[in-house]
C-alpha cells in the first residue's frame, strides 16, 4: 500500500532481532476485524459473550485485532491488555467474563495463579477461550 493509505502501524516483538513493522490501511483493518470476528464465532463466541482481551495493546498486533473482532460480533469487550494477573482474575470475576482471548502460555499462567490465590475457575461463567500469537 502507498504510505499515504496507511492509517495504523504495528510491529513484531523483535525478540529475535529488529522488529518487523507492518502498515495497515483502513481496508486492512476492516478485513482483520472480520477475520477475528469469524475466529471468535468459530470458537463458539457471539454477541452474548463478555470477552476479556488479555493480549497486549500497543505495537503488538494481538490486542486490537481481537478487540475489534469482538466488537464486530456484538460481544462486550473487557480490554484488560496483558499482565497484572491477579487483577485480570479479579476483572474476570467482577464482569462475569465468558470468553478469554490471550496467548496459550498466559492462559496457563492465569490458571496457575488462580489456583494459588484460591479462585475456582470452574465456578466462573468463563466457558471458552481463543488463544494465539505464539506456537503451542
How confident is the model over 4-18, as pLDDT tens digits? 999 999 887 777 888
Q: Which residue has the higher pLDDT, 126 or 82?
A: 126
pLDDT recorded at residue 62: 77
pLDDT recorded at residue 59: 83
pLDDT recorded at residue 7: 92
Instruction: Label each residue of 45-68 as H, E or C.
Output: CCCCCEEEECCCCCCCCHHHHHHH
pLDDT recorded at residue 67: 95
pLDDT recorded at residue 108: 96
Rounded to an integer, what distance in angstroms lies between the CA atom of residue 108 and that of residue 76? 23
How confident is the model over 72-125, as pLDDT tens digits? 999 999 999 988 999 999 999 999 999 999 999 999 999 999 999 999 999 999
pLDDT recorded at residue 136: 61
* Fold (topology level) of 3-131: Rossmann fold (3.40.50)
How confident is the model over 16-72, as pLDDT tens digits? 888 889 999 999 999 999 999 999 999 999 999 999 999 988 887 778 999 999 999
The domain spans of the chain are 3-131
pLDDT recorded at residue 123: 97
Rounded to an integer, what distance in angstroms lies between the CA atom of residue 118 and that of residue 24? 42
Half-sphere exposure of 112 (CA within 13 A, CB side): 6
- Is 20 in a helix, a strand, or coil? coil
Amino acid at each position: 500500500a502507498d504510505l499515504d493509505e496507511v492509517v495504523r502501524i504495528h510491529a513484531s516483538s523483535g525478540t529475535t532481532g529488529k522488529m518487523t513493522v507492518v502498515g495497515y490501511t483502513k481496508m486492512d483493518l476492516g478485513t482483520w476485524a472480520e477475520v477475528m470476528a469469524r475466529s471468535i464465532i468459530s470458537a463458539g463466541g457471539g454477541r452474548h459473550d463478555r470477552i476479556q482481551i488479555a493480549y497486549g495493546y500497543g505495537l503488538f498486533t494481538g490486542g486490537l485485532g481481537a478487540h475489534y473482532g469482538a466488537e464486530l460480533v456484538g460481544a462486550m469487550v473487557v480490554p484488560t491488555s496483558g499482565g497484572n494477573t491477579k487483577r485480570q482474575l479479579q476483572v474476570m470475576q467482577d464482569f462475569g467474563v465468558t470468553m478469554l482471548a490471550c496467548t496459550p502460555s498466559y492462559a496457563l499462567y492465569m490458571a496457575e495463579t488462580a489456583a494459588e490465590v484460591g479462585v475456582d475457575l470452574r465456578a466462573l461463567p468463563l466457558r471458552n477461550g481463543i488463544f494465539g500469537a505464539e506456537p503451542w
